[in-house]
């Protein structure tokens, strides 16, 4: 959640939060995430691609340490 707040403070236009706790994801959305995904419930990579019109993301910050979120992070195509 802290990373979402910092991303918004530093001007990130769209923040996508991925996590496995739906309650924490809801709080994350309330504090600034534009879109949240639980990879245990939904296909995260497909949703990220759809939400970004196939462009995917510029930067990934992994802070949870969960195997589910780490594997998602490792498979996201980072666009620079």
The ranges assigned to domains in the chain are: 2-75
User: Which DSSP string do the residues of 20-46 spell out, in sequence order?
Assistant: S-HHHHHHHHHTT-SEEE-TTTS-HHH
DSSP, collapsed to helix, strand or coil, labels residue 18 as strand
Q: What is the pLDDT of residues 22-49, one digit of tens each?
A: 999 999 999 999 988 888 887 888 888 8
pTM for the whole structure: 0.71
Res 52: pLDDT: 85
Phi, psi for residue 59 in degrees, rounded to 5:
-150, 140
Q: Could you please state the CATH topology (level 3) that the domain comprising 2-75 is classified under.
A: Rossmann fold (3.40.50)
């Amino acid at each position: 959640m802290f990373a979402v707040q910092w991303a918004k403070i530093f001007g990130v236009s769209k923040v996508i939060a991925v996590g496995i706790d739906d309650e924490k994801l809801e709080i994350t959305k309330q504090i600034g995430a534009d879109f949240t995904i639980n990879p245990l419930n939904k296909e995260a990579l497909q949703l990220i691609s759809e939400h970004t019109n196939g462009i995917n993301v510029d930067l990934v910050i992994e802070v949870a340490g969960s195997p589910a979120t780490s594997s998602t992070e490792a498979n996201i195509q980072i666009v620079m």
